[in-house]
Amino acid sequence: KQSFNSITMMMSTSRALLISFLANVSIYSCSHGFSLEKPTSRRAALETLTITPFVTTFLPSPQDVAHAADDIDSSSALPKTTPISAQWNAIDGLNSEDKKFVSFDKSAYQAMMRDQSRTPLFEQAIVNRLKAAEPDSQIVLDLGTGPFALFAVIAAKNGAKHVYAIEASKEAAATARETIEKLGYGDKITILEGFSTDITLPEKADFAVAEIVGSVASEEGAYATIYDAHKRLLKSPNEANSWIPNRIQTYAAPASYTLQNLFLPPAFDWTKLQGEPVRFNCRDEGLQLVSNPVLIEDISFADIITKGGSQQKQVTFTVDGERVEKNKAAFLEEFKRGNPREAEGLSVTTANSISGIALWPRLLLDDNVEVNSRHFPDGGHQKSHWQTVLPIMSEIPVPVKGGDEVSVTFDFTVPTEVTTPSSYKISGSVVRS
pLDDT by residue (tens digit) across 141-187? 999 999 999 999 999 999 999 999 999 999 999 999 999 999 999 99
Cα distances (Å, whole numbers) of residue 224 to 203, 245, 419, 420: 21, 15, 9, 9
Amino acid letter, residue 314: Q
Residue 276's pLDDT band, with cuts at 50, 70 and 90, is: confident
Q: CA 127: distance to chain centroid?
A: 27
Higher per-residue confidence, 260 vs 51: 260
Of the chain, the percentage scoring pLDDT greater than 90 comes to 69
Q: What are phi and psi of 291, to 5 degrees?
A: -150, 170
Maximum CA pair distance of the chain? 73
pTM score, whole prediction: 0.83
Taking each helix axis from N to C terminus, what angle separates 321-336 and 343-351, rounded to the nearest 10 degrees?
Answer: 150
Asked if 139 and 161 count as a contact pair (C-beta separation under 8 A), the reply is yes
Over the chain, what is the mean pLDDT?
A: 83
CA distance 240 to 242: 5
Above 90 in pLDDT, residue 125? yes
Closest to 255 (Cα-Cα) out of 389, 112, 57: 389
Q: Is 189 left (phi over 0), alpha (psi -120 to 50) or beta?
A: beta
Query: Quick one: CA dihedral 340, 345, 347, 349, positive or negative?
Result: negative
pLDDT in tens, 1-13: 222 222 222 233 3
> What are the pLDDT digits (tens) for 322-370?
999 999 999 999 998 866 788 999 999 999 999 999 999 999 999 999 9
